[in-house]
Amino acid sequence: MGEPFLLTPGPLTTAYSVKQAMLRDWGSWDNDFRAMTAQLRTQLLALIGDDKGAFDCVPIQGSGTFVVEAMLASFLPRQSKTLVLVNGAYGNRIAETLRYLGRNHVVMDKGDYLPPRGREVAEALANDAEISHVVVVHCETSSGILNPVEEISKVVYQAGRKLLIDSMSAFGALPADVKTVRYEAIVASANKCIEGVPGFGFVIGRKSELELAKGCSHSLSLDVHAQWAHMNKTGQWRFTPPTHVVAAFMEALRLHKAEGGVAGRGRRYIENRDCLVQGMREIGFETLLKEPWLSPIIVTFFNPADAAFDFQTFYDAMKRRGFIIYPGKLTVVDSFRVGCIGHMDAAIMRDVVEAARSVLAEIGVKDARPPEAALLERSKLAA
């Protein structure tokens, strides 16, 4: 058997041609690489439907967190006050980043998986005139919840404030079209829904905000304005770019386009999710979330109540069958996660379900139903 499928939210399983694209060395100052950087920026910009040319794309070295930090440091003025919408680990990380940066902020914490709703965000903004910005996570990868960014954007701009989006695990598969959802900046990274390998991320920001970001960042290497200005002037990254990662990303973008862009990629992930969820429910597993909050990115399942179930044993047996799953991140009940993203289709997801079925038999779990406490917890989530 070959390498296992990564049913994880990135790094994820990539196409063979994406890996193959890395078998060549590039000079970072060379024209060929500069051309690649320019194409990368243009092709990413094309994904947000910005007909007016109001936005620009700035790639930044590092993992996704580096780019989130770069966006926050560059787009939140030093005298700003930010409302951070939290319903999981990535929202918490944004608040923690603002603590490091010493930027004034307040947190609206919805717990493990409840969505922040427009009405309550509007209320928070009405009650605090000092809040100038709101930050939201598009798909909160810790539970897999799809947050209602359109609804949130509407109330943010009705209140005359500005929105920044961490769309790390959604961008490229879920729409972020500026004609339907207004924002100042959005971030994502190479190794999620575009299906590249890890090594850089990118900020897509409104040019007027990019101009304002000059001198705002606390950090030399994470200064989005400086990277933007340098790239526009020289065509180069300010510091050593992850050349092989960029080359692989160009191939990943080619495949993304061939699949039908954001709509096509999203469609495949939805099929993956539907196949997975239906099959797992047939075996007796229950999902933490129900439609419409269930994203096509990653799905949280409750651990079975059956005493024979042990996550590590389940994990190891799934791995022997060629599937790497992901531990859960809920604080109240035990769970595990299965990613729907990466270079795989519904047929693979059916194999995942079959593997889960045979593992349960192997480890002697007769019933995959979760404990009552888990279902009780879930009943808090009113649609």
Ligand X SMILES: *Cc1c(COP(=O)(O)O)cnc(C)c1O
Which residues of this chain interact with ligand X, rule CB under 6 A?
9-10, 63-65, 68, 90, 137, 141, 166, 168-169, 189
Q: Alpha-carbon torsion 92, 8, 184, 60, what sign? A: positive
* In the complex, minimum distance from the CB of residue 70 to ligand X, in angstroms, rounded to a whole number: 12
Q: What does the alpha-carbon distance between residue 183 and residue 174 come to, in Å, rounded to a whole number?
A: 15
Closest to ligand X by CB, 60 vs 374, is: 60
Closest to ligand X by CB, 125 vs 146, is: 146
* In the complex, minimum distance from the CB of residue 83 to ligand X, in angstroms, rounded to a whole number: 17
* In the complex, minimum distance from the CB of residue 137 to ligand X, in angstroms, rounded to a whole number: 5
* In the complex, minimum distance from the CB of residue 11 to ligand X, in angstroms, rounded to a whole number: 9
Token pair of 247, please? Answer: 């080359």
Closest to ligand X by CB, 40 vs 168, is: 168
Q: What does the alpha-carbon distance between residue 114 and residue 29 come to, in Å, rounded to a whole number?
A: 47
* In the complex, minimum distance from the CB of residue 352 to ligand X, in angstroms, rounded to a whole number: 20
- Burial group, residue 208, by CB count within 10 angstroms (0-12, 13-18, 19+): exposed
Closest to ligand X by CB, 9 vs 59, is: 9
Q: Which helix (H) or strand (E) holds 139?
A: strand 139-140
Q: 129-153: string of b/e by CB count within 10 Å (b at 16+)?
A: eebbbbbbbbbbbbbbbbbbbebbb
Residues 6+ away with beta carbon under 8 Å from 379? none
Per DSSP, 302 falls in state E
The residue number whose beta carbon is nearest to ligand X equals 64
Question: Quick check: 30 and 349 in contact, CB under 8 A?
Answer: no
Token pair of 44, please? Answer: 């990413």
* In the complex, minimum distance from the CB of residue 69 to ligand X, in angstroms, rounded to a whole number: 9
Token pair of 312, please? Answer: 């590590």
The pair phi, psi for residue 202, each rounded to 5°, is: -150, 145
Closest to ligand X by CB, 200 vs 314, is: 200
Closest to ligand X by CB, 10 vs 328, is: 10
Question: Tokens 């196949």 appear where?
Answer: 275
CA angle 314, 318, 319 (to 5 degrees): 120
* In the complex, minimum distance from the CB of residue 141 to ligand X, in angstroms, rounded to a whole number: 3
* In the complex, minimum distance from the CB of residue 274 to ligand X, in angstroms, rounded to a whole number: 21
Closest to ligand X by CB, 279 vs 328, is: 328
- In this structure, the strands spanning 139-140 and 162-166 are unpaired
* In the complex, minimum distance from the CB of residue 309 to ligand X, in angstroms, rounded to a whole number: 27
Per DSSP, 198 falls in state S
Question: Quick check: 192 and 341 in contact, CB under 8 A?
Answer: yes
Closest to ligand X by CB, 68 vs 222, is: 68
Closest to ligand X by CB, 175 vs 284, is: 175
CA dihedral of residues 193, 195, 201, 205 (deg, nearest 10) = -50
